[in-house]
């Protein structure tokens, strides 16, 4: 949540380099982090929160 823009971009790049194809950032990610993940992962970036379920 408190990461600066450089750290956020480093994190996004690191996840991409690991082959991560989808993410579910939650409120602790912070608004800037969520926006960066949305830009990087597009539709594979889902909104997460308490009580949410993914899949079926």
Distance CA 22, CA 43 (A): 8
Distance CA 31, CA 20 (A): 20
Task: Look at residue 9 in the predicted model and tell me its pLDDT.
Answer: 96
Task: Look at residue 5 in the predicted model and tell me its pLDDT.
Answer: 95
Residue-wise pLDDT tens digits, 1-52:
889 999 999 999 999 999 999 999 988 899 999 999 999 999 999 988 888 8
Within-domain flag for 56 = no
| CA terminus-to-terminus distance, the chain | 29
User: How many domains does the chain fold into?
Assistant: 1
Distance CA 19, CA 7 (A): 19
Task: Look at residue 10 in the predicted model and tell me its pLDDT.
Answer: 97
Domain containing 20: what range?
5-44
Give Dmax (Cα) for the chain.
36
Within-domain flag for 19 = yes
Within-domain flag for 50 = no
Within-domain flag for 52 = no
Within-domain flag for 16 = yes
pTM (2 d.p.): 0.84
């Amino acid at each position: 949540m408190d990461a600066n823009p450089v750290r956020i971009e480093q994190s996004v790049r690191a996840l991409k380099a690991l082959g991560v194809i989808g993410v579910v950032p939650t409120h602790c990610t912070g608004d800037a982090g969520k926006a960066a993940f949305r830009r990087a992962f597009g539709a594979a970036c889902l909104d997460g929160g308490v009580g949410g379920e993914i899949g079926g």
